[in-house]
Structure 1
Amino acid sequence: MSTAPFITPLSASSQDLSTGLRIGGDWTLRHYAQLEEQIATLSGQLKADAAVELDALGALDTAGAALLVQLLGSQRLAQLISQSSSLSSERRALLSSVGAAIGELGDSQPKARQPLWFELFGQIGQSIAELWQQLMALLGFIGLTLGSMFAILLRPSRWRVTSLVAHLQQSGLNAVPIVALLTFLVGAVVAFLGATVLADFGATVYTVDLVAFSFLREFGVLLTAILMAGRTASAFTAQIGSMKANEEIDAIRTLGLNPLELLVLPRVFALLIALPLLTFIAMLSGIIGGGVVCALSLDISPTMYLAMLQEDIELRHFLVGLGKAPLFAFLIAVIGCLEGFKVTGSAQSVGERTTSSVVQSIFVVIVLDALAALFLMEMGW
């Protein structure tokens, strides 16, 4: 049966609560609002040496204990706990815990707000530290992948041919339509813009060279790599991340298998084969798209278009573009698999890591392509 809480003076003949209090009834969450109002009216009236009796205290929970701390103070309550013999050990422990927690909270000073420039440089430093950690993790994973690749190349019994073919179909064959369509349209746009600009100089015939140079050296491999980063790297991360969330990778390790050989290497080998082939298709599609625009807008026949390509474009431009494809393929596959292994177990983590793999792959591809372009330009290649 619930008993109403009360705070009364020790002396029945006096209504002054400053000399002493008698606390009783149920100090629980049910009576919290009532007790809070009484304590608010008594604030500042109770003397430090006033006597307090807790013999009539009924039910008690953390809400009531917090109100007692608010009324008496954590130090005064600690003294009463040690002096009172009517309190059970459970109530002593509850009052001590709540009093200590509120006392620590009251003693802690709010931190002074840092200047804006300090927070800005702190965020920059934290971002640089995280970037360094990601770079070290990527380099370490690249080392593990290369070590595993060289370890199984001369051991055909450890090749995962079925998995390789399945990933080759998903990463390569299924991506042919989107790669061909995109590069065809981009080739047409490049030819149209080139013809528009070169028309002012009476050099529209060089639109053929513009399309060929751009797609053989840059656009073919770059557009394909960006598509693979958004399409394939995200798929690798989601697949491995879902396995990590479902503890399937732990099961693989329990069976004595190496997740790197089972999950990573087939995907890396598949992309190493698929990306150069897709790059070749992208080059052809881009050149064909430019040829269509030249035939329709510039009156350059397909025969003349092919003759100019054969006469003006050297084989080295094709080799330069195709030579970047294996490097981009390896990095895209490694980044996608690494981000999958970083998944912590929730659906949100899978989404975050998938986004991170796409962003990192595109960033790395563009940076490496820019560095390669500068290097090849300086070398005269």
Structure 2
Amino acid sequence: MREWAEYTIEEAGGRATVIITGPLVVSSIGKLDPELRGITDSIQAIDISEAGPIDTVGAWIVFRFSQRTGADIVGASEQAEVLLDAVESAESDAEVSPYRRQTLGRVTEHVGTKVIEFMGGVRSSVAFLGAILIAMASLAIHPRRFRVKALVRQMELVGVSSLPIIGLMSFLIGIVIAQQGAVQLQQFGAETLTVNLVGRITMRELGVLMTAIMVAGRSGSAFAAQIGTMKLTEEIDAMRTIGVSPMEALVIPRILAAVLMMPLLGFYASCIAIIGGAVIGDVMLGIPFWTFLARVQEVVPTYDFWVGMVKAPVFGLIVAMAGCYQGMQVSGNAEEVGLRTTAAVVQAIFMVIVLDAFFAVFFTEIGWA
């Protein structure tokens, strides 16, 4: 049966003494602690001569009670004296809750920190781009070091393996654009212009843009996770040790694969989206499927195709760079891999949308509207 620590109060000559008996250890002091907290009488001494074994928790309870009541501790054994001295030396008068600055100061400091981090990120990104250019120049001088098999493998992962999901997504987008566009245009008796709407918006904008977003979520995150894991397990350091450049072996094949495959994936996505629009045109508008496709060739200008093809490799470069850069920044622990992977996807999508807006203004200004 467990023995609990207990106390009694004795008064002699106007002097109140708390006598503690029983073991003062963590397993037996549970009842004594709240009882000591409830004592409000004036206490002059705490006698622990009859107490049993004592540990740090017991010493802390007795010391805290002594501090609250101002009573002296008497009858302590040699072990108890050591523990009481240790507890007393560890005492701190620091606030339990840390100081919290005013909202304006905290917000200003947070914004300033984010600005500094952003500028540091920009500098690191430029340095990373410079390292890529140096690695490509080195490969141009020594073409035998170029890893063709790695490039083909990454082209398969970025391009071929993503065809089903990009095709499904594009087909559904084409259906949505055609259906919503037809509903609105029918109000003006211009439902035949649905062909123009689907053809131009998919070939010029949505085909490449949605493909870039899908590649960012699928391949960009994979780049960051793969390289980040290799960085965490020191495989990249091992490559440098044996004289293999990580930029040439890991980064360049992935970037080239994304740049080369994005135009093909963008054109593929645009074609599938137009097919989805043609299906809705046949079902809702009574426009025969093949007539819809033939009409697209008549109403979509050639420069709409080139607008998409110009943007595609740039988007691929941005997505691959974001994934590889974030992967190379991994350090510390496994949680960093997840954080950097998330950052790669967010950064890539953000930059793709910003560049798409820039391209829209640029091509409008040069007359490709």
Pick closer, same or farther for the CA change 1:110–1:184 going to 2, 3 Å.
closer
Q: How far apart are the structure 1 equivalents of 2:170 and 2:11?
A: 98
In structure 1, list runs of 5 or more residues that go unmatched.
none
TM-score calculated relative to the size of structure 2? 0.80
Question: Is 1:62 matched with 2:56?
Answer: yes
Q: Which runs of 4+ in 1 moved over 6 A?
A: 2-9, 20-25, 52-57
1:159 aligns with 2:146: yes
Match in the other structure for 1:375: 362
Do the aligned residues in 1 keep the contact of 2:173 with 2:276 (CA within 8 Å)?
Answer: yes
Match of 2:349 among 362, 370, 376: 362
Give the structure 2 partner of residue 330 of structure 1.
317
**1:345-356 correspondence runs (5 A):** 348-356=335-343
Q: Which amino acid aligns with 1:309?
A: Q
Return the alpha-carbon distance in structure 2 between the equivalents of residues 6 and 314 of structure 1.
93
1:67 CA drift (Å): 1.6
Contact 1:244 1:343 in 2 (8 A): yes
Q: 8 Å contact 1:3–1:58 — kept in the other structure?
A: no
In the superposition, the TM-score normalised over structure 1's length comes to 0.78
Pairing 1:87–2:75 present: no
Separation in structure 2 between the aligned mates of residue 22 and residue 201 of structure 1, nearest angstrom = 96
Counterpart Cα distance in 2 of 1:280 and 1:342: 33
After TM superposition, the structure 1 = structure 2 runs for residues 137-216 of structure 1, keeping only pairs within 5 Å, are 137-216=124-203
> Secondary structure of 1:268's match?
helix
Aligned length: 366
Describe how 1:99-114 pairs up with structure 2 within 5 A. 99-101=88-90, 103-104=91-92, 106-108=93-95, 110-111=97-98
Return the letter of the residue paired with 2:54.
L
| Match status 1:71 vs 2:65 | yes
Aligned with 2:87 (options 95, 98, 110)? 98
Q: Match of 1:29, as an amino acid?
A: V
Are 1:14 and 2:5 an aligned pair? no
Task: Give the 3-state SS of the residue equivalent to 1:59 in structure 2.
Answer: strand
Q: CA deviation at 1:344?
A: 4.5
Contact 1:295-1:302 within 8 A present in 2 as well: no
CA offset at residue 373 of structure 1? 0.9
Instruction: Name which of structure 1's ranges 106-115 and 62-71 shifts more when overlaid on structure 2.
Output: 106-115
Deviations 1:286-339 (A, max 9, x none): 3333344445525367368536634x4433222111111111111111212233
Shift of 1:378: 2.9
How many Å apart are 1:66 and its aligned residue? 0.4
Q: Alignment identity in percent?
A: 35
Which residue of structure 1 aligns with residue 28 of structure 2? Answer: 31
> Could you say if the C-alpha distance between residues 216 and 62 of structure 1 is closer, same or farther in structure 2, counting changes exceeding 3 Å?
same
Distance 1:140 1:94, change over 3 A: farther
User: 1: distance between equivalents of 2:239 and 2:209?
Assistant: 36
Offset from partner CA, 1:132-175 (integer Å, 9 cap, x none): 55444434333333332233233212211121111111111111
